[in-house]
Structure 1
């Protein structure tokens, strides 16, 4: 079962934890050399940030890729270096997790709620607007890890303040996996100082 495989990967990883800035920060060094950092809210034990250290094709460090939480500022997004800058009004996607749901927030979408449709398509969520102004495919790594495809009935969305908020109700298999991972994390002895090679947030 996919969820057991993912749990096994995390159980075999080298793990260190610290308590810092009101968060439990856990660093996983996976057997395949990948690095994962998760930050948990100390009061709710919900993941507020998940980031992967990416390596390029030649093994060079290409920085952190954020899966949960706000995206890292783009290094190349510098007018002096590239001569171009992404528009500050371009839609920005960020991901959140709640106790019961997976959440995507897409900012800078000014269109009214009725133009949006969100559909489960294979392993993805597809966001479309009827006015053809926006189209986006959203991956769901959390479901991939439990070997599930998204179910249309679990999708809901709201729109206010130019932000589209999509919520996917967590299936039982994902809730169960998160509970097991949290048990692993809570069993780690966490220091309250030092550096766990966390990306800056």
Structure 2
């Protein structure tokens, strides 16, 4: 299994159950914190957020990797990340077989967009022919698992002022997620309201 999988296995972990979500909190050996929410119906990660440099003075914000830009975790504190509602912004979602990005507030027709894999940076470049929008989308999962992006796995559509980009998950990523969820199932939550009462692994 990958180096990243081994790091997650070694991390200090605790959890809660909130309705149909299993929320897992990781404390990694480099001091970073990772929070993931799993939908217990689909076994899919619906939210992932990071907090790094906890030793610095002042409150550290969470960086959302997967999910909407206003997370609602309540592990140690409540926090909010807000976007300017009038500007284009990107959110990422997972399904069992795809990764999806939604770029909202993009009113241009589908033929204006170019969605290209950049092999040099292993990222997806989104730009418009009218030069109104440019965005480089990185996929941290792929970097951690050392997976190279392939153009043939990319598709896109546009509706309701939103550009939807879909990437078909490679086999290596699907196998990693399946193996990790098997480990997640072993973490037994004791109290759905208090993270500190969860079993530590």
Normalising by structure 1, report the TM-score: 0.86
1:132 aligns to what? 131
2:101–2:165 contact (8 Å) kept in structure 1: yes
Shift of 1:17: 1.4
Given candidates 100, 108, 114, the residue that maps to 2:111 is: 114
1:106-155 deviations in Å (ceiling 9; x for gaps): 00000000111111103110001111110000011111121012100000
1:45-87 deviations in Å (ceiling 9; x for gaps): 1111001113278454421111000113447x8xxxxxxxx4x
Shift of 1:190: 1.9
Residues 59 and 187 of structure 1, relative CA distance in 2, 3 Å threshold: same
CA–CA distance in 2 between the matches of 1:148 and 1:193? 35
Residues 74 and 26 of structure 1, relative CA distance in 2, 3 Å threshold: closer
User: Which residues in structure 2 correspond to 1:76-91 (within 5 Å)?
Assistant: 86=84, 88-91=85-88
2:32–2:54 contact (8 Å) kept in structure 1: no
SS at match of 1:55: coil
1:101 aligns to what? 98
SS at match of 1:104: strand
CA–CA distance in 2 between the matches of 1:68 and 1:111? 25
Count residues in correspondence: 185
2:50–2:62 contact (8 Å) kept in structure 1: yes
CA–CA distance in 1 between the matches of 2:5 and 2:19? 27
Unpaired stretches in structure 2, ≥5 consecutive residues: 71-79, 197-201
SS at match of 1:51: strand
Unpaired stretches in structure 1, ≥5 consecutive residues: 78-85
1:24 aligns to what? 22
CA–CA distance in 2 between the matches of 1:165 and 1:192? 37
2:31–2:54 contact (8 Å) kept in structure 1: no
1:117–1:128 contact (8 Å) kept in structure 2: yes
CA–CA distance in 1 between the matches of 2:57 and 2:170? 36
Runs of 4+ in 1 over 6 A off after TM superposition: none
CA–CA distance in 2 between the matches of 1:195 and 1:32? 25
Residue 193 of structure 2 is aligned to residue 187 of structure 1: no
Residue range with higher mean Cα deviation, 154-163 or 58-67: 58-67
| RMSD of Structure 2 on Structure 1 (CA) | 1.8
Normalising by structure 2, report the TM-score: 0.86
1:24–1:41 contact (8 Å) kept in structure 2: yes
